[in-house]
Amino acid sequence: MREIPGRRRRFLSRRGDGTSELIGAALTFATEWKWPVLPGVAADPDSRSRCACPDPDCTVPGAHPFDPGLLAATTDARMVRWWWANRPTAPVILATGGQAPCAVSLPAEPAARALTALDRLGMRLGPVVASPTRWSILVKPYSLEQLGELLHAKDFVPGSLRFHGEGGYLALPPSGTGQGDITWERAPLPGSASPWVPDVEAVVDAVVDTLTRTGVSAPEL
C-alpha cells in the first residue's frame, strides 16, 4: 500500500462531524487493519489543556487509556461500536506492539526537518502521526531486546527520541486531545489491507544519521 505525503490529511470521514470520523477510524483500525484500539480518557471539559484523569500533572492529557485500561484494547467490532456509542468524542488509542505497529517519535520541528532530509535520500516511510508537539513514525513490531541491542550499538542517540513498543500506546487520528488534534503527517490510503510500515532499525538508523549529519536540534519535550 502506498503512503501519501501531505499535512493534516483527513480520511475515513462518514459525515461532516468528528464523531462519525472517530468511530469510522476506530472500526477501520480494529476490523480492517487488525490494530487493537480502545478509547482514551477525554480532556477536562473545563480546561482542554488538562486531562480528565485523576493525575493533576498528566503529561499526555486526553491521549492515554484510563477506563478501560490498556489491556482491554481489542479488534472486536461490537466492542468498538459500544465504546464509541457511549463515548463518541473519545480519542482513539492504539495499543502498540504485538500484532499492531510500534512507533518512534521525536519533537515536531526536528521531525519535520528529518522527514524532509529522508525524502531527499529516498528513504521509504509508512504512516506518520502528528500532534502539535511530536511526530510518531509507525514501524513494524519489535521486542525490548531488539530495541536494546539496536540502541546499544549506537554511539549517540538523541535523548528526545521516544519508543512506543509492546505495552505502549499512541493516540491516532482523528483524535482530539488536551495537546491538540492528532492528524496524519503521512497518511495511509484507506483500504482493506493494513498499511506498510518499515523496520525499526531502518528508521532509527536513518533518523539518527540525519539528525547528526544535518545538525538538527532535537530538544527534550
pLDDT of amino acid 30:
96
Asked whether residue 86 is domain-assigned, the answer is yes
pLDDT of amino acid 128:
97
Q: Over the stretch 143-183, which tens digit does the pLDDT of each residue have? A: 999 999 999 998 888 888 999 999 999 999 999 988 899 99
Asked whether residue 220 is domain-assigned, the answer is no
Asked whether residue 181 is domain-assigned, the answer is yes
**3-class SS letters over 188-215:** ECCCCCCCCCCCHHHHHHHHHHHHHHHC
DSSP assignment of 48-59: EEEESSS-TT-S
Angle, vertex CA 138, rays to CA 133 and CA 141, nearest 5: 135
In this structure, what C-alpha cell is assigned to residue 180? 491538540
pLDDT of amino acid 121:
84
Phi/psi for 129 (5° steps) reads -95, 135
Asked whether residue 1 is domain-assigned, the answer is no
Asked whether residue 4 is domain-assigned, the answer is no
DSSP assignment of 171-185: EETT-EETTEE-EEE
What is the domain range of residue 149? 13-214
Task: Give yes or no for a contact between 28 and 12, defined as CB atoms under 8 angstroms apart.
Answer: yes
pLDDT of amino acid 215:
57
pLDDT of amino acid 90:
93
pLDDT of amino acid 47:
67
Task: Give yes or no for a contact between 30 and 76, defined as CB atoms under 8 angstroms apart.
Answer: yes
pLDDT of amino acid 20:
81
The answer for residues whose C-beta is within 8 angstroms of residue 171's C-beta and 6 or more apart is 40, 60, 62, 63, 64, 91, 92, 93, 94, 129, 131, 177, 182
Asked whether residue 5 is domain-assigned, the answer is no
pLDDT of amino acid 68:
92
pLDDT of amino acid 10:
40
The pTM assigned to this predicted structure is 0.85
Q: How many domains does the chain have?
A: 1
Low-confidence ranges of the chain (pLDDT < 70): 1-19, 43-48, 191-192, 214-221
